[in-house]
Amino acid sequence: MRADRRSVLRSVRPVRPAIAASILCVSLCGYASSATAQSSGDVRALARTVAAGYLDRARTAERDGRPIAAEGLFTRAVDADRSFLDAYLGLARVLVARGRTAEAARILELASLHALSNDDDTARWARAMAEMGAIDAAIASIEHRGHTARAQRLAAELCAAASRLPEALAHARRSLELTAGDPDAERDARRLVRALALLVGEGDPVRYPGAGASAFRRLLAR
Q: What is the pLDDT of residues 9-68, one digit of tens each?
A: 454 455 455 555 554 455 545 554 555 556 777 888 999 999 999 999 999 999 999 999
Mean residue pLDDT of the chain comes to 81
Does 216 have pLDDT greater than 50? no
Q: Which of 199, 188, 194, 190 minimizes the C-alpha distance to 162?
A: 199
Instruction: Name all domains of the chain by residue range, CATH numbers in brackets.
Output: 44-115 (1.25.40.10), 129-203 (1.25.40)
pTM of the predicted protein model: 0.66
Q: What is the mean pLDDT of residues 115-123?
A: 87
In this prediction, residues 201-222 reach a mean pLDDT of 52
Please give the residue that has the higher pLDDT: either 188 or 17.
188
Q: How sure is the predictor about 145, in pLDDT bands with cuts at 50, 70 and 90?
A: confident
Q: How far apart are CA 174 and CA 149, in angstroms?
A: 7
Confidence of residue 150 (pLDDT cuts 50, 70, 90): confident
- Measured CA to CA, the distance from residue 82 to residue 47 in angstroms comes to 9
Predicted confidence at residue 135, as pLDDT, reads: 87
Amino acid at 83: S
Instruction: Supply the pLDDT for residue 181.
Output: 84
Is-contact 200 166, C-beta < 8 A?
yes
Beta strands in 67-114 (DSSP E): none
CA distance 182 to 177: 11
List, as one string, the DSSP characters of 129-145.
HHHTT-HHHHHHHHHHH
